[in-house]
Structure formats: C-alpha cells, structure tokens
Amino acid sequence: MGFIKKIFTWWEGATFGAGMHIRGSAREVGRDALGNVYYQSKKGDRRYVIYNGQNDASRISPDWYAWMHKQIDDVPDEALPPAPKFLAEPLPNLTGTNAAYRPAGSLERGGRRAAASGDYQAWTPDSA
C-alpha cells in the first residue's frame, strides 16, 4: 500500500509526483533529527522540505526554519554555532491532541474555574 498511498496522499511526506520533481530538480543539502530531508534548487533560488511523517510546519526545527526562510545562507550545521545545553528540544504543534494546553474553565476541563477577584455580578432587573 505504500506506493499507492504515495501517489494519492499529500499529508504524509510528499506525493510521488512532488517527490520526483523535487529530487529531479534540486539537490539534497541536509537532514534534521526528525528525518526531514531538505533540498535546494540547482539555481539556488528555491528551498524544499520533504517531511518524514505528517506534513506539519511545526516539525521543522528552528535552525532549519531559518534556512528555509532564507534568514541564513548556509545550512545550519555550517552557519550556526552549536545550541546551548540549556535549550529544550522544540515541540510540534500539539493543538488537537491530548497533550494540548487546556486552561481552567475550558470545556475539555469541565467548564468550571475557580472564582477570581475581578469576577462580575450579572445584572438582574430586580437589583435596580
């Protein structure tokens, strides 16, 4: 099913046609820790990524994001200093997953929150 899936789907990696076009008209310049493959056109004016898994722009690390958007000219390994040890690994977009942030009072957390000092009192006709 892998080859047929590649022909008709675009949400995981690249379709067969897009992958062949990119691989034929561009050269591979690097890979990141997630397995995404980065390409640059032979003229040097276009940059591409073929995702390893779901197509989600938040799965591009910040250093490769800078390269993709032409904020740096060389690939991140050559253009950037090593990352400081205190930096956390980047997270993908968690919206729509069980790990998404849900503040107190949201419907997913029961719709109730603790009372706050700035809460208002609803107007009623009897209070006038």
For residue 1, pLDDT over 60 is answered with no
For residue 11, pLDDT over 70 is answered with no
40 within domain boundaries: yes
97 within domain boundaries: no
Mean pLDDT of 117-121: 74
57 within domain boundaries: yes
The pTM (predicted TM-score) of the whole model is 0.67
Cα 126 from chain centre: 53
For residue 14, pLDDT over 90 is answered with no
Residue 14, SS3 per DSSP: coil
For residue 6, pLDDT over 80 is answered with no
Q: Is 120 left (phi over 0), alpha (psi -120 to 50) or beta?
A: beta
Q: Which pLDDT score, from 0 to 100, does residue 22 have?
A: 80
Give the range of the structural domain holding residue 8, as residue numbers without chain letter: 1-81
Please state, rounded to an integer, the average pLDDT across all residues of the chain. 84
> Could you give the number of structural domains in the chain?
1
Which of the 8 DSSP states describes residue 122?
Answer: P
Q: Which pLDDT score, from 0 to 100, does residue 39 have?
A: 93
58 within domain boundaries: yes
Q: pLDDT per residue over 22-79, tens digit each?
A: 878 899 999 998 899 999 999 989 999 988 888 888 889 889 999 999 999 999 989 9
Mean pLDDT of 105-116: 80
